[in-house]
Structure 1
Amino acid sequence: MSPHEHPVSGHHSVSHDHTAMDWALLASHLEREAELYTPLYEQAAAWLGELLTEGTGTGPGGVRRVLDIGSGPGVVSCLLARAFPAAEVVAVDGSAELLERARARADGLGLGDRVRTHLADFPDGLDALGGGDVIWSSKVLHHIGDQRQAVATLAGHLRPGGLLAVCEGGLPPRYLPRDLGIGRPGLQSRIDAAADEWFSTMREALPGFVHETEDWPAFLADAGLRTPSTRSFLLDLPAPLSADACAWVAATLSRAAEKCAERFDEEDRTTLARLTDPEDAAGISHRPDVFLLSVQTVHTARAQ
């Protein structure tokens, strides 16, 4: 997790700068989020296998090494190990705490012999990592000031014919009905707007920030990769949500309320406080109308 994680959605670690971060609490949030998004990630992994079959005819079984850059607690790393059954999967992250969770998860799933961890900063700490047949990076590159160069760095670790998959963009998660019965209707839209403003401010404050059009296929092409392909994947968890999903929504709203407090008016701050209060009858944990709908976009291209 970057020290600049998105206020309404968890992201993976890219740096050793852990200032003011509660990693025990944050790791649980990231783990729960990745578990909720597993159906989406499974679709994406299956698509990567299809692309490999179309491109080389080898398919998933021909993949020998997968790099998960910004792996967080390793939920997707283990999923990739199952999607590519002959591969060694390397979970790469800047947080030792999150990598401990990744190791424990892999061992618990019987994948400990194929999933290993590598502590490294991104993008400057990957020199010793070696190459991969598949490189996966989800919601990490937008924490790097020069995104175009970050893509080129990842492309430089691809083996010949290897596939780079960058999960960036899509649609922000939605989970609240328009009219909650408390506060002004349309809170979700105002949360999204506040997050967009926060995100722009975060990007501009990054070291080496480069302002340019976020054209991920162009970044891939500029890195010397070929046959770009983009596809979006839907996560649709209808109401009523499970207890775990409700807990994730409540935690996500708490983070938004904390990080974007100055962007909400007093009425919205009061509504957010009620929604995140487990004792309030109008709170997330007691509502039958909360859902989770999200879209994530994956951009891919191949090495020569």
Structure 2
Amino acid sequence: MSNDERPAPGHGPHDTAQIDWEVFGPLLERGAELHLPLYEQAAAWLRQLLVKAAVAGDQGVERVLDVGSGPGVVSCLLAQAFPTAEVVAVDASAALLERAHARAGRLGLGDRVRTHLAELPDGLDALGGADLIWSARTLHHVGDQRAAVAALGAHLRPGGLLAVSEGGLTPRFLPRDIGIGRPGLQSRLDAACEDWFVEMRAALPGAVDDTEDWPAFLADAGLRTPRTRSFLLDLPAPLTEDARAYLQDHLTQGLDLYGDRLDEDDRTTLARLADPDDAVGIVRRPDAFLLSAQTVHTARAQQ
């Protein structure tokens, strides 16, 4: 599991255990780097919340857990945002943690960013406590999300902050009419992805059919002063080469995951968009853009 950008628009792969992270890791890291402006906004907000708490008499931020860290892009960002803290990148993939370790070394953060191999919610007991726990786009891969929030909350030190990034707005990257196929493809892709996501959630071990009320999950974990904010990534057309390559990866994964839910015309259009050699493919389109939002829910442990 990884909090860096997922391959399918809006959601992640069905069975993360079957993914070759040696191959997929570089793509995941590239996507997370593309979204750094969004994560920088979120980190600045968390720092503001924690600095205010420190002024009010709470402990400073000495230890941060990034649960579902992937290749460590956000782990390193958190180390930069909290320059006196130890940051632990936690993930179930050894290959992704190797990338996190290497990234921290390249950025001169190797003495403060370490890695821990663990699956959520199992395997967290050895982590100990933290002043800040960050988990993004990871908990929706756990069958019982409410229990997963409680498990993370249990690792907060007194006054510590849990930040869960789940939800937001599905990425937009195409105009309504792209000149091929029926207009409105983006909306139909979103609908197919949502149907796939419902089935993915239902098939998870220990899946619980629970309303996704993240502030309620935080409150049920005994945490207080909930706050929620959304952060925007707005990359207008024309996109950079890296951004277009990211969208090509996105569309290719979408074709694999839920292409069979589309009609023949939309499948053909999606395949053309994902084809780097097609003149109307996403990597060649001057009208492609990227607009998305991620929502972060926070709450604090009792003193």
**TM-score between both structures, scaled by the size of structure 2:** 0.94
Q: How does 1:17-166 map to 2 (within 5 A)?
A: 18-19=17-18, 21-57=19-55, 62-166=60-164
Give the Cα separation in 2 of the matches to 1:60 and 1:168.
27
Return closer, same or farther for 1:291/1:256 CA change in 2, 3 Å cut-off: same
Let me know the Cα RMSD of the aligned residues: 1.9
* Amino acid in structure 2 at the alignment position of 1:289: D
* Amino acid in structure 2 at the alignment position of 1:41: Y
Residue 149 of structure 1 aligns to a residue whose secondary structure is helix
Post-superposition shift, 1:28? 1.8
* Amino acid in structure 1 at the alignment position of 2:218: L
Q: Which runs of 5+ in 1 are unaligned?
A: none
Return closer, same or farther for 1:254/1:282 CA change in 2, 3 Å cut-off: same
Post-superposition shift, 1:55? 2.5
Give the Cα separation in 2 of the matches to 1:102 and 1:81.
12
Residue 260 of structure 1 aligns to a residue whose secondary structure is helix
Map of 2:225 onto structure 1: 227
Map of 1:217 onto structure 2: 215
* Amino acid in structure 1 at the alignment position of 2:290: L
Post-superposition shift, 1:284? 1.0
Return closer, same or farther for 1:58/1:96 CA change in 2, 3 Å cut-off: farther
Residue 161 of structure 2 aligns to a residue whose secondary structure is strand
* Amino acid in structure 2 at the alignment position of 1:143: H
Contact 2:59 2:159 in 1 (8 A): no
Q: Which runs of 5+ in 2 are unaligned?
A: none
Contact 1:63 1:134 in 2 (8 A): yes
Post-superposition shift, 1:175? 0.5
Contact 2:64 2:132 in 1 (8 A): yes
* Amino acid in structure 1 at the alignment position of 2:212: E
Give the Cα separation in 2 of the matches to 1:102 and 1:58.
34
Post-superposition shift, 1:33? 1.2
Give the Cα separation in 1 of the matches to 2:197 and 2:149.
20
Map of 1:247 onto structure 2: 245
**1:8 has 2:9 as partner:** yes
Structure 1 consecutive aligned stretches of length 4 or more whose deviation exceeds 4 Å: 9-13, 58-61
**TM-score between both structures, scaled by the size of structure 1:** 0.94
* Amino acid in structure 1 at the alignment position of 2:185: L
Residue 26 of structure 2 aligns to a residue whose secondary structure is helix
Give the Cα separation in 2 of the matches to 1:46 and 1:147.
26
